[in-house]
Structures are given as structure tokens and as C-alpha cells.
Homo-oligomer: A and B are copies of this chain.
Amino acid sequence: MSIRIGIMGYGNLGRGVELAVEKAGDMELKAVFTRREPGSLTIRTEGVPVVSADEAEGWQDKIDVMILCGGSATDLPWQAPLCAQWFNIVDSFDTHAAIAQHFKDVDDGAKKGGHIGIISVGWDPGLFSLARVYGHAILPDSRAYTFWGRGVSQGHSDAIRRIKGVKDARQYTVPVPQALETARRGEQADFTPRQMHTRECYVVPEEGASEEDKARIEQEIKTMPHYFDEYDTTVHFITQAELQEKHSGLPHGGCVIRTSRTGKEDEHKHVMEFSLALDSNPEFTTSVLVAYARAAYTLSKEGQTGCRTVLDIAPSYLCQEGAAELRSHLL
């Protein structure tokens, strides 16, 4: 019998989950839930209903795992604990500073409903967290360096779009090559944000913008606290057509590098590196979500309840093959 999947929210992530479920041999998409008018939405999969999010509670016995595709800022903090009362859930909550609270809220909801909730799934947090934890466990007296990019940061792009006179924008986060080399060489360096990443901005000004307008926009970007002021930032003004043509994708990636030394006199260097190069950040993220939806289903079948993260889940739970088959083909 297939694992019956629901999608909550049909933006970039929701569409990505739909594609990933299609490729999973053991899953079936049962419904897409939206806060928009359901009739206004056309989805890829034929024959699957689009349902108002308000009616989700009524689908409890038709869905095994609900994959939450909302945003971390305003959707997931209330949606995940609530949905965990009704379903096993998986989300991609990525506000690092608020994970402890989110974990507690989802744990409460999931235990109340007798379900499993897996939070903060994706590639960072997610696969990069795994790389950090495996590295930390194996080479304890060392540091991990996480580099992001080259890729589009949606948070930074949004921040630029909120500036007066900006029509559209894309921001790329780019690792500094010298910092990458230093980390790989195993020097346990202390980097400032500026030493690790640069920020490239492609900005479409509103029509009729003067040179002074552009100068002000550039200045506002470069001095924006936290987002840009701690980085070397370059600003390129382009047309909407050029943005569409050259910057419409959502590529991303990066790497986690851990180096350490062992030996009688620490004479042996070791470098562990996990890297990703992704043409579509949302489609890869949702591929991870779907693998962890399988784990949520199996854990729930075992009678487990409560909140989990990727750190709490054995790799074999992500696969549809049995343990013996994994041992013979992939170990």
C-alpha cells in the first residue's frame, strides 16, 4: 500500500513535493491544501483534489503524512503544531534561533495527536546539519566551516525588493575562494562574515529612476544592517528583461568542510567535505522532505510519537528498501 501524502501550500515548495512524490515508487499524492480559493489553482497531477486549508482536519484518515510547504516566518510556527495534532508532518522550518521553541510546540501537538513531526528538513538545516554532526562526532577537536552558494538567497532578495524605488531584485551569496582554500587546508581560522561570503545584487529600478535614485538604492542596500553591512556587496542595475532572462532560476548549494589532525603528534591531517550544487533549491529541498516523509510514516507505524529532527533519524528509515537489501547493495 502506498504512503498517502498531503501537501499544505502550493508555492515553489509545494510544486517541488508534487514532483518528488511522483518519482517515489511507494507514495501517492492524495490532496493539495491551499489558503487560496481552491478553484483558482491548477495542479500538475491529474485527478488529485485541491482543498481549502480550513478543511484539512477532516482528512485525518485519508492522509498518512502532511508535508508543510509554508514559510518559516509566518506559516510554520502555528501551522506545524496544529497539523501535528491531525497528521504525521514534515516541515522545512529554517529559523535557526527559533528551533528550540518550534521543536517544543510541534512535540506537544504531535504527542497530543499521537503523531510524528519531523522539523527543519531540507539541506540547511538538514543535510548540512548531518555533515556537521557526523564530523563533530568523528573529529571532535576541530571546527566545521559552512559555506553557502553560489546561490540565490530569497531572504536577501526580498530585503532588497522592500527598498523604495526597487521593482525587482535577485541576490547571490558567493563564498570567498580564499576562505574555502584556507578551510580545506585545515587552518582553524576565525573568519568574519566578510571573509567568508560576498553578496552580488541584481536590481531592477522602477521606471524613470535617476542616477541619484540608483545611488541611494545602492547605498541603502550596502548599509542594511545584518543583511549586507557586514559583507562586501556589489550592486548591478539591470532591466526586468535581463533579470528574467539571466536570473529567473533559484540555484543554490554550498559545502560543509571539517578538518582535523590525528597522530602521536597530530602529524596527520584529515579533510571531510560535503558539498551540494543545486540548479533548483526548492526542488532539491522538497526531495529531502519527501524522503523524511517516508521516515515519519515508518516511525509512526512503529508507534512512536513526538517531534524529531534529521539528527534523530537513522538513515535506513529514509529508504523504501528493507535493511537487509540496503546492507547488500549500499553498505
Interface residues of A (CB under 8 A from B): 16, 19-20, 23-25, 44, 96, 99-100, 103, 120, 125, 127, 129-134, 136-141, 262-264, 267-280, 283-284, 287-288, 291, 294, 309-316, 318-319, 323-324, 326-328, 330-331
A315 & B272 in contact (Cβ 8 Å cutoff): no
Distance (whole angstroms) from the CB of A222 to the closest CB of chain B: 31
Smallest Cβ-Cβ distance to A279: which chain B residue: B268
Q: Is there contact, CB below 8 Å, between B133 and A319?
A: yes
Question: Sorted from nearest, which 9 A-B pairs have the closest CB atoms?
Answer: A137-B318, A268-B279, A268-B280, A262-B283, A137-B291, A271-B277, A311-B316, A129-B331, A132-B330
Asked whether, in the complex, the Cβ of B137 is within 8 Å of the Cβ of A331, the reply is: no
Complex formed: what's the CA distance from A314 to B323 in Å? 14
Q: A139-B287, A311-B327 are in contact. List 10 more A-B contacts (CB 8 A).
A: A16-B262, A19-B263, A129-B330, A129-B331, A133-B330, A262-B287, A267-B279, A273-B273, A311-B330, A312-B316
Q: Are B100 and A327 in contact (CB under 8 A)?
A: yes
Check A269/B279 contact, CB under 8 A, given A137-B318, A330-B133. yes
Q: Is the CB of A331 within 8 A of B96?
A: yes
Residues of B within 8 A of A326 (CB): 133, 311
Contact between A315 and B99, CB atoms less than 8 A apart: no
A276 surroundings in chain B (CB, below 8 A): 270-273
Do the beta carbons of A291 and B100 come within 8 Å of each other?
no
Most buried by B among A129, A136, A264, A319: A136
Give how many copies assemble into the complex.
2
Whether A331 touches B139, Cβ cut-off 8 Å, given contacts A133-B319, A276-B272, is no
Task: Provide the residues of chain B in CB contact with A273, threshold 8 Å.
Answer: 273-276
14 CB-based A-B contacts, threshold 8 Å: A16-B262, A19-B262, A19-B264, A44-B264, A99-B327, A125-B331, A130-B315, A137-B294, A137-B318, A137-B319, A270-B279, A271-B278, A311-B316, A311-B323
Do A100 and B271 touch across chains, with their CB atoms under 8 A apart? no
Q: Which of B24, B140, B275, B327 contacts A23 (CB 8 A)?
A: B140
Q: How far is the CA of A327 from the CA of B267 in the complex (A)?
A: 32
A129: chain B residues at CB < 8 Å are 330-331
CA of A275 to CA of B313 in the docked complex: distance in angstroms?
22
Considering the chains assembled together, what is the distance between the CA atoms of A260 and B15 in angstroms? 18
A327: B residues at CB distance < 8 A = 99-100, 103, 309, 311
Question: How far is it, in angstroms, between the C-alpha of A43 and the C-alpha of B209 when the chains are bound?
Answer: 76
Q: CA of A291 to CA of B139 in the docked complex: distance in angstroms?
A: 9
Contact assessment for B270 and A277 in the assembled complex, using a CB-CB cutoff below 8 Å: yes
Give chain B residues whose Cβ lies under 8 Å from the Cβ of A271: 275-278
B316 contacts A133, C-beta separation under 8 Å: yes
Cβ of A159 to closest chain B Cβ, rounded Å:
24
* CB-based contact A313/B314 at 8 Å: yes
Min CB–CB distance A251 → chain B (angstroms): 8
Chain B residues with CB under 8 A of A99: 327-328, 331
Q: Write out the residue numbers on chain B whose beta carbons fall within 8 Å of the beta carbon of A315.
A: 130, 133-134, 137, 310-311
Q: Which residues of B contact A20 (CB under 8 A)?
A: 262
User: Contacts A262-B20, A328-B100 hold; do A287 and B136 have CB atoms under 8 A apart?
Assistant: no
